[in-house]
Amino acid sequence: MRIKIVFVISVLGMFLMSPLKGHAGSPFDSASLLKVYEDSMRSLQYVRINARTDKEKDAANTQLLNLMNKALLLPGSFNYPFDSLRTIGKEMSPDRQFRLITWDVPKSGCTFGYYGFIQSYNARKKKYDLFLLEDHSADFPNPKSATCTPAKWIGMLYYKIIKEKGSSMYTVLAWQGYNKLITRKVIDIITFSPEGVPTFGKPIFVKLPASKGNPKRMIFEYSAQVSMSLQYDDSQKMILFDRLAPTEEGLQGQHQYYGPSFDVDGLQWKNGTWNFVSNVEARNPSDTKEDAPQNSTHDANKKVIYSTPH
């Protein structure tokens, strides 16, 4: 494995040092080069999960990040599926204006580092833009009220993009491994400026119970030992989520003891805002994969190891 990685890196080294910039024309066959990049990342995606030390994981992830950067700058990369990168999330917006590519690196102590890109079409410039997502979660003591940019991002794994009719905003559902005791799920908002620059967070969540003001994103915290459902029900045009509660009444506010109750609440889109609705009748969704990120490596904390392909 180590020999293979070193060989791939040496062959592609000439491509790894240029900065982020827009797509440009090229005399080479970009489809073939995209396949070369994908094959290189295919092994690295597992090394960044399974390596014995954090240092080895970080080294593999640095190469993975550089390769993905170069791949996404190639003509035609926006529609390239990267199908073999099964531990990396690739979510396309319903209107195909942008996609989110995110992944995590599990670290010792059951913590995570988050990485990714936004690849978007800039209608004004008539080209594709690429934005590196840089995780600065520690810089946001109150993440519910923070406005974020790609350069100062709250790291998470996205698994659903929602766009309501007539709106220029995008709603995203995400998973975040917070620490060894607490897992988070997040509902966030992405908007694009007239220049095509994305921003995360917008105070359009209204009528929330026990909430002062309108947060810029909704964050659910619960025990890392349980699962919480957060999904979009297309038939009801609502975001549905489990109501969380502590296992005992005396544990209020200690989210490591929180888990789903038997109640389901939701958000309904109305006049450009998400309105809280209590006690929604949940239906069996036809697409259960929306309920969690398929690329999440959070099970690494439970000693689940991905098999490295040969």
129-153 confidence digits (pLDDT tens): 999 999 999 999 999 999 999 999 9
- Structural domain contains residue 270: no
pLDDT averaged per 10 residues, the chain (length 310): 41 41 53 95 95 96 98 96 97 98 93 96 95 96 96 98 96 95 97 97 94 91 96 95 95 96 96 96 55 51 31
Full residue range of the structural domain in which residue 40 is found: 1-86
- Structural domain contains residue 182: no
* Residue 159: exposure state from Cβ atoms within 10 A (0-12, 13-18, ≥19): buried
- Structural domain contains residue 43: yes
CA 232 to chain centre: 16
pLDDT of res. 28: 58
pLDDT of res. 170: 98
Which contacts qualify for 58-67: CB closer than 8 Å, 24 or more apart?
58/105, 58/113, 60/5, 61/105, 61/113, 61/115, 63/5, 63/9, 64/103, 65/115, 66/16, 67/12, 67/16, 67/37, 67/40, 67/41
- Structural domain contains residue 59: yes
pLDDT of res. 291: 61
Q: For 16, phi and psi rounded to 5 degrees?
A: -95, -5
- Structural domain contains residue 19: yes
Task: Judge contact between 136 and 153, C-beta under 8 A.
Answer: yes
How confident is the model over 91-135, as pLDDT tens digits? Answer: 999 999 999 999 999 998 888 999 999 999 999 999 999 999 999
CA 43 to chain centre: 21
pLDDT of res. 294: 54
pLDDT of res. 280: 94
pTM to 2 decimal places: 0.85
pLDDT of res. 43: 92
- Structural domain contains residue 10: yes
- How many domains does one find in the chain? 1
- Structural domain contains residue 149: no
- Structural domain contains residue 54: yes
pLDDT of res. 5: 40
